[in-house]
């Protein structure tokens, strides 16, 4: 998401601290993305074929997908998509029940300047190595007009693709056709209202949907292809440019990511019963966060968090104000 980058220093406000995963750490824990090429990690998806590996990509026009080992934070595979055009604004990634990786080239920072966007799909590779993968490209339109979006979710049971649009006044949740068709335009239809969303993910059992924004996240019950409640606040960590979220493969926790060089991915535990909001703290931290606030900060960090929220809020207001000014002009 590029809009916050117009505010100097906003991207530097990654104030959430936690332990860095090393070579001896278990998989699916907190980790830092070490690859210097990954400066705008805008999506995150747990691999189905390779335990402990998470797929991500930059918010840019290069057709590159990176596999990151959560034990070390190192890149173990770089995938180059072939058979597709030049991406415009890749914002999201998800792994479907068909064993394929779906990439959402769905960003539109001018809120409707493109009459269509794209989804790319390719089989998740069996081997973790640098390679070229042949992808299928799908044209996508919205039934109610062009939208800016950053969240694409593939249901783990039905394989249906969903997109959450983004707007300063809220967004919409859109369902694609039962199966995507590369030979025609795939029309996505609005099925619900959602808040400002920068990413989302289905739980592995398909019974929950988490949607995150810059400061908050909510987890919804999912039933019969629809949101089944108003959502429960999730104790999302504070991150300067909060761009991604996914479930761990066993569904026991959420991983939250952000843009920036050496960006941190933070694990947030879910209760075993699934009836309450996940705990809001990084791996190894003491309890203390509340469901609607980021994790409890260590001594001396709470003030930084408060300042960060204020500055990020002001940055968002500046961005929205500028966008409205340009629209009037």
HSE of 98 in the Cβ direction (CA atoms, 13 Å)?
14
Cβ–Cβ under 8 Å, residues 70 and 31: yes
User: Which pLDDT score, from 0 to 100, does residue 271 have?
Assistant: 65
Judged against a pLDDT cut of 60, whether residue 80 lies above it is answered with yes
Maximum distance among all alpha carbons in the chain?
A: 57
Give me the percent of the chain exceeding a pLDDT of 90.
Answer: 65
Can you give the C-alpha Rg of the chain in angstroms?
A: 18
**pLDDT tens readout for residues 17-61:** 344 444 457 999 999 999 999 999 999 999 999 999 999 999 877
**pLDDT tens readout for residues 271-320:** 654 444 444 443 333 333 333 333 333 333 333 333 344 444 554 444 44
pLDDT band at 108 (very low <50, low <70, confident <90, very high): confident
Six token digits for residue 127: 């081997």
**pLDDT tens readout for residues 140-169:** 999 999 999 999 999 999 999 999 998 877
Cβ–Cβ under 8 Å, residues 291 and 234: yes
Q: Cite the beta strand spans of 83-135 per DSSP E.
A: 92-95, 100-105, 117-123, 131-134
CA distance 30 to 3: 27
Q: Which position has the higher pLDDT, 202 or 25? A: 202
Taking the C-alpha atoms of 174, 180, 182 and 184 in order, what is their torsion angle to the nearest 10 degrees? -60
Which of 109-115's residues contact partners 24+ apart within 8 Å by CB, and which partners? Answer: 109/1, 109/2, 109/3, 109/148, 110/148, 111/146, 111/147, 111/148, 111/167, 111/323, 112/145, 112/146, 112/147, 112/148, 113/146, 114/88, 114/146, 115/141, 115/146
Taking the C-alpha atoms of 253, 212, 201 and 120 in order, what is their torsion angle to the nearest 10 degrees? -140
User: Which pLDDT score, from 0 to 100, does residue 144 have?
Assistant: 93
């Amino acid at each position: 998401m590029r809009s916050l980058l117009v505010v100097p220093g906003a991207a530097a406000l990654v104030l959430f601290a936690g332990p860095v995963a090393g070579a001896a750490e278990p998989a699916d824990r907190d980790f830092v993305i070490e690859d210097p090429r990954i400066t705008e990690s805008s999506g995150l998806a747990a691999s189905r074929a390779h335990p402990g590996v998470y797929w991500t990509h930059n918010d840019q026009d290069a057709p590159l997908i990176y596999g990151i080992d959560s034990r070390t934070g190192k890149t173990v595979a770089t995938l180059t998509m072939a058979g597709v055009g030049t991406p415009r604004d890749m914002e999201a990634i998800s792994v479907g029940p068909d064993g394929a990786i779906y990439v959402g080239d769905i960003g539109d920072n001018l809120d409707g300047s493109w009459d269509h966007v794209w989804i790319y799909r390719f089989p998740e590779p069996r081997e973790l190595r640098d390679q070229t993968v042949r992808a299928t490209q799908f044209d996508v339109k919205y039934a109610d007009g062009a939208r800016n979006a950053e969240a694409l979710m593939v249901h783990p049971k039905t394989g249906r693709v969903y997109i959450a649009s983004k707007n300063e006044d809220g967004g919409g949740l859109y369902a694609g056709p039962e199966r995507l068709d590369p030979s025609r335009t795939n029309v996505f239809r609005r099925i619900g209202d959602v808040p400002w969303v920068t990413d989302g993910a289905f739980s592995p059992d398909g019974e929950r949907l988490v949607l995150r924004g810059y400061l908050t996240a909510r987890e919804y019950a999912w039933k019969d292809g629809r949101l089944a409640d108003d959502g429960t606040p999730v104790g999302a960590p504070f991150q300067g440019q909060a761009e991604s979220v996914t479930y761990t493969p066993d569904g026991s926790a959420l991983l939250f990511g952000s843009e920036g060089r050496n960006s941190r991915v933070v694990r947030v535990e879910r209760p075993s019963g699934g009836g309450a909001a996940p705990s809001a703290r990084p791996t190894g931290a003491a309890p203390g966060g509340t469901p609607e606030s980021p994790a409890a900060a260590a001594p001396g960090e709470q003030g930084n968090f408060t300042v960060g929220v204020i500055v990020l809020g002001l940055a968002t207001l500046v961005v929205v104000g500028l966008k409205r000014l340009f629209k009037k002009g």
